[in-house]
Amino acid sequence: MSGDYLQLRRIGFRGPRADAHLDFISGVNVICGASDTGKSFLAEAIDFMLGGSVLREIPERAKYAEIQLNFTAGEDSTWRLQRSTSGGNFKLIDLEDPDYPERLLKQSHAHDKTDNVSGFLLEKVGLLGKRILKSATKSTTQSLSFRNLARLAIIQEGEIQDRGSPFWSGQFTTKTSDLATVKLLLTGIDDSSVVTAPDTGPDNARQIALIQELLGDISIEIEDAGEDRDELVTQMERLDASINDRRQELTSAQRELDVVIENRRSLVEERRVARGRLDEIAELLARFDLLGKHYDVDMQRLDAIRESGSMFAHIEAVPCPVCGADPDSQHLELTCEGNVDAIVTAASAEIDKIKQLRHELDETVADLRIENGEVGKELEVADAAFHEVNREIQQTVGLEVSGVRTSFSALVEERAKVQKSLSLFGRREKLQGRLQSLIDEGGDRPDQVAVQAGLPESVAHSFSQKISSILKQWNFPGECLVHYDKQASDFVIDGKPRGSRGKGLRAITHAAVSIALLEFCQEHGLSHPGFVVLDSPLLAYFKPEGDDDLALKGTDLKERFYKYLVDHHGRESQVIIIENQHPPENVIGRLAMTVFTGNPSDGRFGLL
């Protein structure tokens, strides 16, 4: 092995008023605890600090401006990378030499140069200047970047449970270079000796290769779905007929609902009018009551005038007590123009008039009271009818429409699924037609000989034996017979492809491949980043899927998994496990454990 292995020592987040960090040691590190506390973000942040382009935006990240990553490259070399949380270039600091000038490392990779973060890290692990195969058909190569290695050392949660091979990202355009990177690590031999053929003009070989890869991917999807095209067509026809019938039912039910709703709307208007009339009657009765009181007061006043006048009319005329004049000589008209008899007569006439008005008022009030009773009864009938219609909408017609609509939506959703499956067959036919036309144009030239790509058989066998040994020591179910399927670029375990198992078993077997790659390189003196980050390798214990995962949950694989790691990984290597569940009690003293509690008042809440 040329160069040294890397080991992470600390990742820190800094801001104007915030500071958070997490330390790592050689050997086994476990970060565990509650969900949504930043455990998966930790793996993403490590990847970002080793050349990743973008860091996921989360609310907790907003108060931090910079990330620092401390790591060792050999026993006497400790470095720090600093980078803005927004991305961009890096600052490099030598923590062992305070006089070492701060360096700028570019984000973009450049072949055989150490002025960029990729080249600097590659130099530390002894892989600077290496080349890997880019296209087997074209015999072209590309410069090895540390990003080619990072995906083999930092396995994030979405990747560890993926159905695809642990060796490649799933992108057909990078499959050749991904496998060439693995071959470089397992053999120590790069592809710099491959001679690129001269360009003899445009051809269709690249398009043909891409279409063949796409056809292979679509064929796998069709095979996994297990659907027959004729059956799908028949099912689509049945669904179309059912959807048409259900649409008619929905239209009829909706029409009935509309009628009932219109009836309810009419009843609402009828109730509004009745309540308005009752309010008007109440206001009129109040005003008429006041008017009646005015009539009573007026009649009392007029009755008093009439009685007083009558009294004056019956008083006997006598001589004036002052001058002694006779009644006939007193000249009363000079001091009083009033005619008592006329006043009494007028008061009596006015009283009769008011009595007539009061009689008419009483009749009007009586009519209003009768109308008030009738309108009140109409309102009670309208209220009862409204509640009945409302109950009908909620309990019968409305429920019927809702049920038909739900059934209709389910049929439409089912048809969409069938349509999606049918589209795979259509896409395959289209690609097959395009492939044939390219071949007919002479794109697949017989004089082109592709460079042999992938793992050599002997190395693939030895590496498969290493994986088998690890799985046995983890007490993985079965005999743990492993061999490498070159066609799928993945492993077959006990006769069953790794990718066809449940996501929990896919996660633990992906972890086995990653650990095996680190140990294989160590045992054979080969280059490797030197550490492995595994996010949720024991997924079957936290989110089991299917009978295989449930069966695994009842074994001691979890205990064996941790025991194996602490027994085999000490000062010379580093494994970082990110999990929800805590490791077994019997190994806690032999590893570094950080618990994210998810409780701000108890221990460490989370990463940030």
- Are the C-beta atoms of 154 and 43 separated by less than 8 Å? yes
**Do residues 295 and 174 both lie within one domain?**
no
- As a whole number of angstroms, the distance between CA 378 and CA 383 comes to 9
- Give every residue of the chain whose pLDDT is below 70, as ranges: 1-3, 172-173, 197-205, 223-226, 312-318, 320-322, 324, 327, 329-338, 439-450, 546
- As a whole number of angstroms, the distance between CA 471 and CA 512 comes to 7
pLDDT at 560: 95
**Do residues 421 and 465 both lie within one domain?**
no
**Do residues 309 and 413 both lie within one domain?**
yes
**Do residues 463 and 430 both lie within one domain?**
no
pLDDT at 252: 85
11 falls within a domain: yes
Last residue of a domain, one of 437, 470, 499: 437
What would the DSSP string read from start to end of 138-207?
Answer: TTEEEE--HHHHHHHHEE-HHHHT-SS-TTS-S-GGGHHHHHHHHHHHHHS--STTPPPPP--S--SHHH
606 falls within a domain: no
* DSSP for residue 100: S
Choose among 90, 93, 127, 133: nearest CA to 111: 127
433 falls within a domain: yes
pLDDT at 331: 61
CB contact set of 483 (below 8 Å; sequence gap of 6+): 460, 461, 464, 491, 492
217 falls within a domain: no
**Do residues 421 and 466 both lie within one domain?**
no
CA-derived radius of gyration, the chain: 48
**Do residues 427 and 541 both lie within one domain?**
no
**Do residues 368 and 467 both lie within one domain?**
no
**Do residues 189 and 238 both lie within one domain?**
no
- As a whole number of angstroms, the distance between CA 404 and CA 250 comes to 6
CATH number for the domain that contains residue 567: 3.40.50.300
Q: Which stretch of DSSP H or E encloses residue 91?
A: strand 90-94
**Do residues 404 and 454 both lie within one domain?**
no
218 falls within a domain: no
**Do residues 543 and 421 both lie within one domain?**
no
321 falls within a domain: yes
Choose among 58, 110, 115, 114: nearest CA to 85: 58
Last residue of a domain, one of 386, 407, 437: 437
C-alpha dist (Å) from residue 107 to 42, 49, 67, 90: 20, 10, 15, 7
442 falls within a domain: no
242 falls within a domain: yes
Question: In terms of residue numbers, what domain contains 263?
Answer: 233-437
CATH number for the domain that contains residue 415: 1.10.287.1490
pLDDT at 1: 40
Q: Which amino acid is at 76?
A: D
Q: 78: which 2 tokens? A: 């400790």
As to burial, measured by CB atoms within 10 angstroms (0-12 exposed, 13-18 middle, 19+ buried), residue 51 is: buried
- Are the C-beta atoms of 120 and 105 separated by less than 8 Å? yes
Domain count, the chain: 2
Last residue of a domain, one of 405, 437, 469: 437
**Do residues 489 and 361 both lie within one domain?**
no
**Do residues 483 and 555 both lie within one domain?**
yes
